[in-house]
Structures are given as C-alpha cells and as structure tokens.
Chains A and B, each alone.
Chain A
C-alpha cells in the first residue's frame, strides 16, 4: 500500500512538471536570493521591491536570505543555480565588485547576467559627537596634524567603507587607524562612545544620533540633508555608491531577462516601492541591463586599483 502511495505521488509530480514546462515564464513562484541576513540594508531593498515585482510577473517572489561573508555564500549559490529565471538575486555591488579581488572565489562578474539596477544608496561620512572636528576641512587638518591621529570604523577589512577611507586618506595625504567592526550596530556604538572619530554608512544609519555629517558620496547633494557637501565639491575624486539590482545566473535565456526587466521597470516606479525607499532615505534608480553592467564593471576596476594599492590582493 505504501508503495502505491509513493508511486501515485510520483505520477502526480510528473504530470505537474510537464504542465509547467508547457507554459511561458513565469509559471511558478520565483526565488529571490538575498546574500545578507534579514533586516540588513540589502534585505530591506529586496523586500521593498518584491511585492511590486511579483505583481507585475503574476507570481509571488519568495525572498530567501542566504547570508554570510559579505554576500559570498549567496552569490556562489546563485552562480551555481539553474539559469531558468526562477532563481534571481538582488545584490549590491560589494559581493560582485570587491570580494572577487580579495578572496579566491568560484565566481566573477561574468558568472551573472545583469537585469536591472533598482536602487542607488549614497554613503555619508559622519563624525562622532566628541570628535574635535565638525566639517570636512577641519577633519583634513586634524588628520594631517600627525600620523594616525584619526581612528575610523568600517564593517570589516575590505568592506566598501574601508576602501573609501583608504582612498580618502591617500588623496588628502594623511594616515588613519582602521578599526574594523562587525555590522552597523557596533560601529554606531563605537562612534558614540568615542572609540572612533569617523565612519561611513548609509544615511539612515548615521542620522539616528544627530552625528555631524562631513560629506556625502553622491553626484549631487541629498534632498534629505541639503547642507552636507558632496565629495566632488570638496575637491576629492571619489566615486562610491552602494547600488544594487537584479541579477540572474549567466546563461539565462534572453526572453526571461526581458520579462524580468519589463516587470522591474514598473516595480521601481510603483508608489509602494518609492515610499518605502524614501523612509529608508535610499534612492530608487532604474538602469537597464547594459548600463547596470557597465556601472559594476567600472566599480570593479576602481576597487581592484584601491585593493592592489593597499596590498590586500589574495596571495597567489
């Protein structure tokens, strides 16, 4: 009797599967990998996008958090999964444009197809409440007064803020002490307690404690903080962003990518999406596949240069 049950169940599965194959994409729920734990920045961006995207595609989007090592685990998983459009990922730049230069990984930028950019988060340089400087100019003077005068926080060695600080200090001709932390919480604690004097993070993180904001990494000033100058205005050549979008494994058919992109355009323009991002002080921004890829390739080259200069390339 038991065998009969199993056989009939198997039969049902076969029937269902052949039915699936006959129709067009998408015919079943889509799994969206987020390579960071729930509640993180990327996760929130994914959760903001998922309902709109699901509505446009006519199938629910299931968010699966596969956190770990700055996004390596989830990205590796995506690169290995079937390129049928039922496994997609919302990824920021760092796992794709920084980590492959630092660790020996099984994927590169070419392991993925780019679908569309969905958000572009600026970074903000903030000072601690006890820091002896309140503007960028004062920060530069203080940092140059003697070597290692400034201690700065980052989310870990080789994280985007760490690379940015390396670049800032190189351009202003000073040296600072890097103190790595795990996650945003400990960094906020360190800057409030005076362990570090500066940190770089998203506007939502740094604005909760009324920290003095020194500069913003964006093309133009942010609407939510109009008094904070951009890095360009301050005369530094620093392009940095924490932007992200939908990617799929390389080899995904064109038709699937096109369907996803059409839905993505609509979803990024939807009111719900824009409203959630505004609350998180993040900027929605849609870019089509080619420009999205270009942006990441450029970022990758820039990061490679910084990492090489800092001597952080992996040992052969």
Chain B
C-alpha cells in the first residue's frame, strides 16, 4: 500500500464519528487534568486503563494520546497564571509565563501557548506521517553512550535556565544531581541516602519535586507576604485584547518553529521526552535572542518556544511506541499495556498489519489539535478570571489538588509528605534567592545521565573509548566541548570588556520576585 492509501485509511479511521468523539473526550479530559494542578497524565491514563480494555484498539490509543497531549496543553495554564507547574515539562513556562501574567499579559501568554502548541502539533503530525517510522529506526542507534553524551550537553545548559547568579544556579543544579541519586541504585541495587525509610527507596518522583518546590513553595511565600503584595495589574477585559498582538506574534514565530523542530527530534528519541525538549527550547531561545536580558522579565519567546517543544515531543513520542514497541515514558507504557491487552503487538509490522490503528492515531492528532485550539482559545477569557479569585480561597484549593496528585502517583502518603517537605525547602530557597528551576532540570537529567554513563562503561567493558568509537556520541561530546570553550571564552571576554569599561559589576543581583516591576 502506498502513502496515499495509508492517508485515506488514516482519515477514515480518525474521522469516524465515534473516534472524533473519543478524541474530543481525550483532549478535553487532558486539558482538565492539565489545568488542575497535581493530577498528571500518568495517573489519568493509568486510571482509565481498564476502560480501554473494551474499546477498539485504535480508539483506545486515540483517547490516551488525546489525554497526553491535551494535558501538555492544559499544563501551561497553571504555570502561567499561578506559577504552578503540574509536571516537569511545564517548569520553564513558569519563568516567563508568570512574569507575563503579572504584567497584564496573561491572555497573551495563554494564547501563544495554545497557538504554539497547535502549530507544533499540526507540523509534527504531518512530519510523523511521512518520516516518523524512518526516523524511529534511526533513533535506535541511540544507545547508552549517545544518551550519556546528549544529557551531558543538556547539563551544560543548566545554568542558563535561571536568572540568578551563575554560582547559585550551579549549586542548585548540583543539589538536583544529588537528589537524583536518592533511592535504590539502578545499577548496583544499593540503597543510597534512604536512611532505611521505605518511602525513600523509590527516590523522589519528579512530579512531587515540581509540586513541592514550585506549587507549595509559592503558596507559602504568598501566605507570608500577603500584606505586602500589591494589587495585581489589571488584565484586559476583551478576548481580542487578551490574545497576542501583532508584535508578540512577530517575536514568537521563530521560537515556535525552532521549538517544534527541537521537540520533534527529542520526542522521537525514546526517553528523550517533553521535559528536556522544553528546557532545551528555552535555553536555545535565550542564547539566540538579541535581548537575552528580557528573559525572566516576561519574554514571550520564553513561553512560545518551550510550549511548542513539549507538545511536539509529546506527540512525536508515539512513533517509537507504535513502530518499535518502545514506550518513552510512564504514560506511554500504560498505552502499550492497553494495546497488549487488546492483543495488538506494536512493532515494525504494525504499520502494515493494522494501518487503521497506526495512521488513524496520527491523523487523529490533527483532529485533536484543532479541537484543542477551538476549545481553549475562547476559554482564555474565562481562565484569566481565575486571577481575580482571592488567593486566600485559591490556595487551600490548590493544596487539596496537589495532595490528591501526589497521593495518586503511587497511592502512598510518603509522596505527600515529601511534597510538603520539598515545599518547605523551596520556600526557604526563595528566601535566599536560590532558584529551583536548575534543580529540577538537573534532577531529570541526572537520573538519565548516571544510568547511561554506567551502562556505557559496561558496554565498553570499562573503557571510555566507547564514547569516541561511536560517531553520534563522539559528535555530541564534541558539541559539549565546543560549548564549554565558547562559554568560558565568552565569559572571559565579557569580563575583560567590563573591566576595561566601567569597572567590575556586582556579580549577584538579587532578583525581586514579589516586588512589582516599575510601571
């Protein structure tokens, strides 16, 4: 069968009434759980797993896919409005999204997140249709050494996600790396830093980390300073004024394009994932930008890039799942289980054996993205109303949602306790101007890095030569070396220039998070 035939099968499946309905249900539910802080897509698809046993396999995957990318969509909402990331992929959206909201551009941030995700979704769907399976084969050449090299590159970018001083970011990143080693060692099986407590055997869950360090910490900070917090800047009342204006669109076009490409490439790699894609997109925009100083002060590029990237990655990750049977994360592992129960074996033959499933799912993403944008954009004016709810009523509600979310991960109150502990730690960190964003990124990367590095050494039978023998790994290592040289050289140059100019500048500038910017 040729591509045209596949295309028509895909459309026939995705555009059947029942599947449009299922797709709608999926993206709607995804948006809802994305909007509610706490409950993430993993918990939701797990809970819906039994339901899919009785559905037809294509509809089951369409539903779960809808929940997954719908939640990436909805997740930007709480990040932008209340600085609460529901999961690690939306942590970076908080940085500039929340600043935009504080400056009265909440609607624009939400709008660009929605449109950016939409554009990314459409482009990625088309790309997946044509080159997805081919690229998935290529992704198999990513063994442990390649992952280790890729993640090393990511770790070098870690200081770029924060507005605080380089030293502070580095300390936070190292703390993130240290936290990522808590729990039972994946290679040796030793218990590390568990103190014999069974709740720590698993280590920290990244969702617990995000909810604690951001959501709970935010609530505690605002509880303390309520008397000092000035009235928020008024948001425009009409939807048209809320949406991104022409200037904002112009600034977002390229970030959306780049974010989409980056998300697509990282999403195809099994285990690459939406988190790394969103962080990488943010850092890339900041590096490329002619005005890097605007980042952290409400730069729309810092919302457009990451939001496009995480949506692109979420959708692209379905390709390794369907064409190789490799789930990229916990959400997709549940989707795989649902397929297995139905007696469908994902793999290279799936495309020809059940083209209705394979292409139906891809085409349904087009449908889903259209539904999402139609559903979400008019609702922006409603969402922005959330900013008018008094924080004294909002914060108890957010606490309940976060507790439900943390508990539902493993049905364990240890996770809830950890979230509270991390919330307290996050509150103290803010008081001393330490930013948790590098910590979260280093935590996510650290877990992959250590395991991949150890596996590489085992693959290379103990020799580091394994990194140089493999072309992709060697290339990535080369990139890291260049980056270090470039950064160090740039810093030295800048310092020399500054010294020659007007004397040395004060290195650490405390960031005033809760003070208003001058009007």
Which residues on A are within 8 Å of B, measured CB to CB? 37-40, 43-44, 47-48, 64-69, 72-73, 76, 102-104, 106, 148, 151, 156-158, 177-183, 185-186, 188-190, 192-195, 204, 207-210, 276, 279-280, 312
Task: Please pick, from B198, B327, B334, B348, the residue contacting A38 in the complex, using a CB distance under 8 A.
Answer: B334
Distance to closest chain A CB from B19 (angstroms) = 22
Task: Check if A44 sits within 8 Å of B340, measured CB to CB.
Answer: yes
With A67-B410, A69-B184, A189-B270 given, is the CB distance from A157 to B346 under 8 Å? no
Does B175 reach chain A (CB closer than 8 Å)? no
Task: Check if A210 sits within 8 Å of B347, measured CB to CB.
Answer: yes
Does B421 reach chain A (CB closer than 8 Å)? no
- Bound Cα distance from A13 to B183, whole angstroms: 40
With A185-B327, A193-B140, A193-B142 given, is the CB distance from A66 to B458 under 8 Å? no
- Bound Cα distance from A66 to B407, whole angstroms: 10
Task: Check if B410 sits within 8 Å of A66, measured CB to CB.
Answer: yes
Q: Interface size of B by Cβ–Cβ distance < 8 Å? A: 56
Distance to closest chain B CB from A50 (angstroms) = 8
**Would you list 22 pairs from A and B whose C-beta atoms are within 8 A, ordered by A residue?**
A37-B333, A38-B46, A39-B335, A39-B336, A66-B410, A68-B201, A68-B202, A106-B198, A148-B461, A156-B189, A178-B458, A179-B455, A179-B459, A180-B186, A185-B332, A188-B325, A194-B143, A208-B345, A208-B347, A210-B349, A279-B340, A279-B342
Task: Check if A177 sits within 8 Å of B461, measured CB to CB.
Answer: yes
Distance to closest chain A CB from B268 (angstroms) = 12
Task: Please pick, from A182, A193, A208, the residue contacting B451 in the complex, using a CB distance under 8 A.
Answer: A182
Distance to closest chain A CB from B270 (angstroms) = 5
Task: Check if A189 sits within 8 Å of B49, measured CB to CB.
Answer: no
Task: Check if A207 sits within 8 Å of B345, measured CB to CB.
Answer: yes
- Bound Cα distance from A276 to B345, whole angstroms: 14
In the bound complex, residues from chain A placing their C-beta under 8 Å from that of B459 are 151, 177, 179, 195
With A193-B143, A208-B347 given, is the CB distance from A73 to B46 under 8 Å? no
Does B341 reach chain A (CB closer than 8 Å)? yes
In the bound complex, residues from chain B placing their C-beta under 8 Å from that of A181 are 455
- Bound Cα distance from A40 to B191, whole angstroms: 23
Does B278 reach chain A (CB closer than 8 Å)? no
With A68-B201, A189-B270 given, is the CB distance from A39 to B49 under 8 Å? yes
In the bound complex, residues from chain A placing their C-beta under 8 Å from that of B410 are 37, 65-68, 73
Does B144 reach chain A (CB closer than 8 Å)? yes
Residues 170-202 of B, flagged 1 when their CB comes within 8 A of A and 0 if not, give 000000000000011111110100001011011
Task: Please pick, from B202, B320, B334, the residue contacting A73 in the complex, using a CB distance under 8 A.
Answer: B202
Task: Check if B337 sits within 8 Å of A43, measured CB to CB.
Answer: yes
Task: Check if A208 sits within 8 Å of B325, measured CB to CB.
Answer: yes
Residues 221-236 of B, flagged 1 when their CB comes within 8 A of A and 0 if not, give 0000000000000000
- Bound Cα distance from A279 to B334, whole angstroms: 16
Does B287 reach chain A (CB closer than 8 Å)? no
In the bound complex, residues from chain A placing their C-beta under 8 Å from that of B202 are 67-69, 73
Distance to closest chain B CB from A103 (angstroms) = 7
Does B503 reach chain A (CB closer than 8 Å)? no
Distance to closest chain A CB from B135 (angstroms) = 14
In the bound complex, residues from chain B placing their C-beta under 8 Å from that of A76 are 198
In the bound complex, residues from chain B placing their C-beta under 8 Å from that of A192 are 140, 324, 326
Task: Check if B348 sits within 8 Å of A209, measured CB to CB.
Answer: yes
Interface centre among B183, B199, B411 (most CB of A within 10 A): B411
In the bound complex, residues from chain B placing their C-beta under 8 Å from that of A279 are 340-343
Task: Check if B271 sits within 8 Å of A186, measured CB to CB.
Answer: yes
Task: Check if A39 sits within 8 Å of B458, measured CB to CB.
Answer: no
- Bound Cα distance from A43 to B346, whole angstroms: 19
Task: Check if A204 sits within 8 Å of B345, measured CB to CB.
Answer: yes
- Bound Cα distance from A66 to B341, whole angstroms: 21
Does B315 reach chain A (CB closer than 8 Å)? no
Task: Check if A44 sits within 8 Å of B337, measured CB to CB.
Answer: yes
Known: A40-B333, A73-B202. 20 other contacts (CB 8 A): A38-B47, A38-B334, A39-B335, A43-B337, A47-B341, A65-B46, A66-B410, A68-B412, A69-B184, A72-B198, A156-B189, A179-B455, A182-B451, A185-B326, A186-B271, A189-B324, A195-B459, A207-B345, A279-B341, A279-B343
Task: Check if A151 sits within 8 Å of B324, measured CB to CB.
Answer: no
Interface positions, chain B 103-156, Cβ under 8 Å from A, are 140-144
In the bound complex, residues from chain B placing their C-beta under 8 Å from that of A72 are 198, 201
Task: Check if B198 sits within 8 Å of A189, measured CB to CB.
Answer: no
Distance to closest chain A CB from B357 (angstroms) = 14
With A65-B410, A67-B410, A69-B202 given, is the CB distance from A189 to B326 under 8 Å? yes
Distance to closest chain B CB from A264 (angstroms) = 20
With A179-B459, A180-B187, A185-B270 given, is the CB distance from A64 to B347 under 8 Å? no
Does B338 reach chain A (CB closer than 8 Å)? yes
Interface centre among B183, B199, B270, B346 (most CB of A within 10 A): B270
Task: Check if A195 sits within 8 Å of B345, measured CB to CB.
Answer: no
In the bound complex, residues from chain A placing their C-beta under 8 Å from that of B412 are 66, 68, 73
Nearest 10 pairs of A and B residues by beta carbon:
A38-B46, A39-B337, A157-B189, A39-B334, A279-B343, A208-B325, A208-B347, A69-B201, A68-B202, A195-B143
- Bound Cα distance from A234 to B230, whole angstroms: 78
- Bound Cα distance from A250 to B333, whole angstroms: 34
Residues 338-370 of B, flagged 1 when their CB comes within 8 A of A and 0 if not, give 101111011111000000000000000000000
Interface positions, chain B 195-214, Cβ under 8 Å from A, are 196, 198-199, 201-202
Interface centre among A40, A47, A106, A186 (most CB of B within 10 A): A186
Distance to closest chain B CB from A223 (angstroms) = 15
Task: Check if B143 sits within 8 Å of A39, measured CB to CB.
Answer: no
- Bound Cα distance from A121 to B334, whole angstroms: 20
- Bound Cα distance from A189 to B451, whole angstroms: 15
In the bound complex, residues from chain A placing their C-beta under 8 Å from that of B333 are 37, 39-40, 183, 185
Task: Please pick, from B47, B185, B341, the residue contacting A276 in the complex, using a CB distance under 8 A.
Answer: B341
In the bound complex, residues from chain B placing their C-beta under 8 Å from that of A103 are 184, 191
CB closest residue in chain A, given B349: A210
- Bound Cα distance from A199 to B329, whole angstroms: 20
